[in-house]
Structure 1
Amino acid sequence: MVFEFGSIIGIILVAVLLILFFTFVPVGLWITAFFSGVKVKISTLIGMRLRRVAPSRIINPLIKATKAGLSLNTNELEAHYLAGGNVNTLVDALIAAQRAEIPLDFDRGAAIDLAGRNVLEAVQVSVNPKVIETPQISAVAMNGIEVIAKAKVTVRANIDRLVGGAGEETIIARVGEGIVTTVGSARNHSEVLENPDSISQTVLSKGLDSGTAFEILSIDIADVDVGRNIGAKLQTDQAEADKRIAQAKAEERRAMAVALEQEMLAEVRKMRAKVVEAESKVPLAISTALENGNLGVMDYYRMKNINADTGMRDSISGVENSGKNDTTK
């Protein structure tokens, strides 16, 4: 009985050890690599496990590269994997470059992949050029008419400039700047509408792909529209500004005139106050003259008669003048 129990425990231990062995040691992957012509040791696969590298991420791309005729080894692929690169994409890119006869070695491909660019997409764009469509670009000709253009830029990836080269945003910005400059140098917007190919030829001759990761093959103007009359709008705005300035100056002159009028009214009031003050002193002066004998009573009455006669003449004259005015009317 004891013997049977010990046998069962031994069988269980052997089974557990076999399960752990086949789990930790990828024997199936080693067999696949062996029959695929890839020479890799079991110890190498175990070392990958210890370095926390998934062996399938290295061996499967290596099998694919070997079948394609590429000379790669596990150390290169494992180093690229540990650096954060995409081993499978890199191997696919190397195979595609070899088939397309594009000079791309492992080191350059790894550098492109680690730089954050999709190396496989770069190889594909090198074989099959890519079309970049710019947004609507607004430019103004010399006659003040706005021209709205949209361009399609056909580019091909330049493998040698992928590391450190500018991307699509730079291409779009440079093409937009070239369109604005070309349209702005045209004397009339009709010249641009009649010959839009002149824009693409002028822009293409500027070498806009310098320092970028692409090579510009062609620039085609997809659409050209006439926009606003910017010149007329600027003239209208200038006229409105001049009008406001003139109104401000007129308001300033009116304010100065009102201030001057107020000053003159103040002076008149002062003069009237002085006249009233002087008239108030007349009775006192007459009384003093009568007391001192400088003015007689008859002289005083004669003066009053003269004043009354003058007032009567003034009233008669006013009535006659009003009658004449009525007759005239």
Structure 2
Amino acid sequence: MVNRSATATAKVRARLDALTTLRTSGALAAVADAAEELASRGRAPATVRMRRTYLRHDEPRHVDRERNGLPRTEQPPAARLIAPRGVAGRFHLLLLFAAHCQAAPGHQWHNRIPIEPDSTRPFSWMGLLGAHARHTPGGQRVASPRVNKARQITEAVKKLHEHQMLELPNAGTSRPFRDFQLLCDSGASTKAAPIPYKVPRAALPGVNVPTEFFTRGWVNLLTPSETVSYLMWLDINQNPVHDEPYVTGTERAGHFGLSRDAYETHRQLEAFGLIDVEAAADRYDDGKYADYGTEAGRPICHRATLTPDGITRDAAAVIEPVLHAFAAHGTWDRPLAMRTGR
């Protein structure tokens, strides 16, 4: 347990260092301004609607161990893009955001945003993505942060292409990633039959992600596991299956494909003020129960509701003090200024 705690603290300190570097360099403010401008110059959507099958299977898949979730190849697209390194999942969400800013519901989106800025187009993916890209010692050449960030984006494009989430119309040319095109977020595209992305209509089963998730910096500062867990809680609250907002282990693993570790990020999301959690009585942190069993009609699961204004706060201003507190005490606590009325 001591080693696990030390590892968690080390990860949080590294995350805090990266956040501080992005904030003090002005990069976080710049990408937030770019996202705000992209929305205001376009259709200014209040939400970004994602097809429900992007997050969960309609029918649960069999899992050998619910703690581990589904094998990566069987996961829905959102969970499949979770990775400890790389920015593919975050980048894909930014693609969906840009599509909603530039295309109407029911219409195809044509990406014309370049990876790197140029004099002819006002937005670039480098300008919209907040990523801490620094030189890794040991290489033969020292690449600048700009070059490393561009490399992160092209690696994300390659990964999304491998997962049939976008296509490369200029593959085989000197600029293979130019004007790459988004494919349907349902994950139903194949190499033989790609499905172009169209902004979902309101009647299509989906999940609405507040635009502030993008314009207030959350998309760039949550970890991949925190992000997909937050999207899961959005779905559970917007498309209720039960009379209360909870998810069982079987549903979490079989529908959403998520491991218990991903589910446990509800602690961070609560500390960040994005959700309020009603902890299940007699349930330990490791997921086990005291006196296993349930009250009639009330499974032993945490309930998580969305906080009304949590997503409207500036992500860096919220996350940074939470990370400082964890680095000092090893617990996820909501800042004192945000505890009023809990």
Is TM > 0.5 for Structure 1 vs Structure 2? no
Task: Indicate the structure whose relative CO is greater, using CA pairs within 8 Å and at least 6 residues apart.
Answer: 2
With the length of structure 1 as denominator, give the TM-score of the two structures: 0.21
Higher helix share: 1
With the length of structure 2 as denominator, give the TM-score of the two structures: 0.21
